[in-house]
Amino acid sequence: MIATVTLNPSLDLTLTVDRLVVDDVIRMRGMRKDPGGKGINVSRVVNTLGGATIAYGFIGGHEGGALSVLLAEEGILTSFVAIDGDTRINVIVSERESGTQTRINAEGPRVKVEDLDKLRERLWKMGGVYCAARFMVFAGSIPPGLPRTTYRDLIEDAQERGIKAVLDADGDALKQGVKAKPFMVKPNTYELERLVGRELKGAGENEVIQAAKEVHELGVEVVAVTRGKGRAVLVTNNKIYMGTPPTIRLVNSVGSGDSFIAAFLLALLHGEGFEEAFRWGLAAGAATAMTPGTELLRVEDFNRLLHEAVVEEV
């Protein structure tokens, strides 16, 4: 099983319009409502690809209830802690004419330290489904009210119990989490440059590899760096790989990184090695980038693109 922990989930609304116009009425051509949050996305993709998953996190208010219902409709097992605040709503406005998306993300509700203690009880003291989890993914932002070391502490807890922790975060949450030496991190180029403290935009592949190796040397066994259309980097204990994603018509890249993690870990659960898992991740990320708004991958696209992803050992 692949468990996920999303401390700041969301209810994502994708609104489709012909064109955004200032100071005028805009007619909506369509609306889509999806469960949101990076860890939630990982669970959704694992489920779509036929894997077993459970999603942990915080929910609150009417929006939190709607989030739970949507996940239940997809057949995803959840274990959420209820909080006083309302689960945030993120709005994505998709323009037909330009093919662009405008994303408006809410900060999220304040979470009490007592709520975090309840989540820990769900994770570690109930002795339930977590025992079957080989991987636990900690992903997304840390909500207001919780200490910046939250991911670091949770990762240490997981790995003490023999569960391999995976971290996908940014900024201080990533810097602090890496100190716990998770099994895997998956930054994009911008997240990696904030982690290593130097600019990598426009940098060559060797510079990105070197930055990934620096993170690996901090005690992270697997470092995967996604670079959009550019070749991705995978650094493991004894090998370095470059991965060329399939060529697609990009619709929206939201959720692509989460899809990469889901497929990568699922491949490992299926007994595949890192090279093949890298291919799975590249195919899943590309398949999600082909879908509009916050819609994630389609199985048929993933299966087709899996044969088009190219992985080479450096």
pLDDT score of 311: 95
pLDDT along the chain (314 residues), means of 10: 95 89 87 91 97 95 94 94 94 83 86 95 70 89 94 94 94 95 95 89 84 95 91 94 91 87 97 96 95 86 95 92
Return the closest-CA partner of residue 108 out of 94, 89, 91. 89
For residue 256, give the 3-state DSSP assignment. Answer: helix
Of 78, 67, 153, 167, residue with least CA distance to 109: 67
Beta bridge partners of 80: 57
Coil/strand/helix, residue 101:
strand
Backbone angles phi, psi at 143, to 5 degrees: -70, 160
Q: How many CB atoms lie within 10 A of CB 169?
A: 25
Per-residue pLDDT at 193: 92
Q: Which residue has the tokens 């636990």?
A: 136
Whether the CB-CB separation of 170 and 140 falls below 8 Å is answered with no
Instruction: Supply the pLDDT for residue 236.
Output: 95
Q: Coil, helix or strand for 224?
A: strand
Residue 51 near residue 137 (C-beta atoms within 8 A): no
Q: How many residues does the chain have?
A: 314
> Which among 121, 118, 117, 156 is positioned nearest to 136, based on CA atoms?
156
Domains with residue ranges and CATH for the chain: 1-21+28-49+56-114 (3.40.1190.30), 226-314 (3.40.1190.20)
- pLDDT for res 126: 57
**What pLDDT does residue 92 have?**
85
Q: What is the pLDDT of residue 127?
A: 53
pTM: 0.92
Q: Give the model's pLDDT for residue 257.
A: 93
pLDDT at 128: 53
Taking the C-alpha atoms of residue 111 and residue 84, their distance in angstroms, rounded to an integer, is 8
Q: What CA–CA distance (Å, rounded) separates 273 from 12?
A: 34
* Residue from 263, 272, 273 nearest 301 by CA: 263
3-state secondary structure of 47: helix
31: its two tokens: 């609306």
pLDDT at 79: 93
Q: Which residues are catalytic?
A: 258
**C-beta of residue 221 within 8 angstroms of C-beta of residue 237:** yes
